[in-house]
Amino acid sequence: MRSLENERKTTGWAARDPSGILSPYTYSLRNTGSEDVFIKVICCGICHTDIHQAKNDLGMSNYPMVPGHEVVGEVVEVGSGVNKFTAGDIVGVGYVVGCCKNCSPCNTDREQYCAKKIWTFNDVYTDGKPTQGGFSGSMVVDQKFVVKIPDGLAPEQAAPLLCAGVTVYSPLNHFGLKESGLRGAILGLGGVGHMGVKMAKAMGHHVTVISSTDKKKTEALDHLGADEYLVSSDTEAMQKAAESLDYIIDTVPAFHPLEPYLSLLRIDGKLILTGVITTPLQFLTPSVMLGRKSIAGTLVGSMKEQEEMLAFCKEKNLTSMVEVVKMDYINTAMERLEKNDVRYRFVVDVAGSKIDDQ
C-alpha cells in the first residue's frame, strides 16, 4: 500500500456567509499521512446540522464552509500504515474525523466526547488546515474515522445511517434500551425520527410516534410500522398516555416545552435529547423528581457504535427513506429541509453531479 501524495485539490459546494447559500468552491485537501484514506465521494446525506452550521446559528461558523457529514465513498488510495481498508472498498464517514486518541473518552470507545475531537467540517485539523465535508468530490480521512459499508447496503441508503441512524442507535445502546418489550416513543418524525421508529421496532419495542399534528399519522403507522400515534396538542390523548413510556427519544431541532413529554414517562423513564436547539429549554423540577426521571442528551455515536449499527441495519434489513437529488439542487433541498418538506432524508448524488468551480 503506497503512501498518498501530499496535496490534492477537489471541488465542493460551500457557504460563504450566514445566508447559508452554497456554491462551487475548489480547495486543497489537507496533507495526507500514513494513517489516511483518500476517498472519492459517492453520495452524502443532508442533516439539520448542516443548515445550522452553514447559517451560523451556533455563532461559530467559519467560511468558506463545505458541509456534509453523512458521507459514503469509494477508497481510491490508502497510506502505508492503513490496515483496515484497501482501494475499492465502499466506506462511510460521519460527523467526527479526529480526536486526541489519549484521553479517557478516546480510550473507552467514546471518542465523540473527546475534548479535542475534530468535526468533519467547520473545524481545523492538527496541521491547521480547515476541515471540509462531504458535499465535495473527495476527502482525506484518518482510518480510525472510516467505517466499511456492509455489502448489499446501497450507498444512498447507508449515508443517513452515519448520522441519523447512529444518533438513535447510540442512546438506545448506551442507556440499556435495546432489550425487547420496552415501550418507547419517538418525538418528531424526520430524518432521525423515522430511523428511530425502525430501529426501536426491530429491537422489539412498542413504539409511539409523537408529533404536533396528525399529518404524518398514516405514514407512521402504515409505512414505518409504529404501534401508536400521539398528537401532542391533544390534551385528552396526552393525559391518557401519562406514565406509559420507558423512554422518549426527542429528535426535534427547535424550541419546544419538555414538561408535556416528561409526564408521559414511567418511574425512571428517560427523555433523551438528540436535536440541536439554540434556545434554552425549561422545566419544573417536580416533573422530574416525582418520578425519578432523567433528561439526557447524546451526541452522534462512537466508531464502535457505527459499526454495530450498520451490522444491525444489515441484519434487520433496515433502510432509510430517502429522496436522492443532484448537487445543483442542494440549496433548494436545504430550504425544503428547514420546512420539513422531505420524507425523510435528502441524499446528494455527488458522484453523479457535475461540480464546476466558480
Average pLDDT over residues 142-148: 98
pLDDT for 356 equals 59
Together in a domain, 143 and 180: no
pLDDT for 1 equals 40
- Distance separating alpha carbons of residues 358 and 352, to the nearest angstrom: 19
Together in a domain, 217 and 285: yes
Q: Each residue of 185-221: pLDDT tens digit?
A: 999 999 999 999 999 999 999 999 999 999 999 999 9
Confidence of residue 282 (pLDDT cuts 50, 70, 90): confident
Confidence of residue 99 (pLDDT cuts 50, 70, 90): very high
* CATH, residue 278: 3.40.50.720
In a domain, 18, yes or no: yes
In a domain, 313, yes or no: no
* Containing structural domain, residue 284: 165-297
Lowest mean pLDDT across 126-130, 249-253, 309-313: 126-130
Together in a domain, 129 and 226: no
Question: How does 46-57 read in b/e, with b if 16+ C-beta sit within 10 Å?
Answer: bbbbbbbbbbbb
* CATH, residue 327: 3.90.180.10
pLDDT surpasses 80 at 23: yes
pLDDT surpasses 50 at 136: yes
Together in a domain, 93 and 132: yes
pLDDT surpasses 80 at 121: yes
In a domain, 316, yes or no: no
Question: If you search the block for the grid coordinates 422530574, which residue do you land on?
Answer: 288
In a domain, 2, yes or no: no
pLDDT for 38 equals 96
CB-CB contact of 87 with 77 (8 Å): yes
pLDDT surpasses 60 at 4: no
Average pLDDT over residues 52-76: 96
pLDDT for 3 equals 47
Write out the three cell numbers for 48. Answer: 439539520
pLDDT for 210 equals 98
Together in a domain, 115 and 14: yes
Together in a domain, 155 and 234: no
Which H/E stretch holds residue 104? helix 104-107
- Distance separating alpha carbons of residues 168 and 179, to the nearest angstrom: 15
Together in a domain, 158 and 15: yes
Bridge partners, residue 294, by sequence: 270
Confidence of residue 357 (pLDDT cuts 50, 70, 90): very low
In a domain, 97, yes or no: yes
Q: Each residue of 81-90: pLDDT tens digit?
A: 999 999 999 9
pLDDT surpasses 50 at 299: yes
In a domain, 307, yes or no: no
Which H/E stretch holds residue 186? strand 183-187
pLDDT for 312 equals 97
Together in a domain, 188 and 156: no
pLDDT for 30 equals 86
Which three-class secondary structure state does DSSP give residue 211? strand
pLDDT surpasses 70 at 337: yes
pLDDT for 234 equals 96
Question: If you search the block for the grid coordinates 444512498, which residue do you land on?
Answer: 156
Confidence of residue 180 (pLDDT cuts 50, 70, 90): very high
pLDDT surpasses 50 at 358: no
CB-CB contact of 98 with 117 (8 Å): yes
Together in a domain, 135 and 201: no
Amino acid letter at 40?
A: K
Q: What is the mean pLDDT of the chain?
A: 94
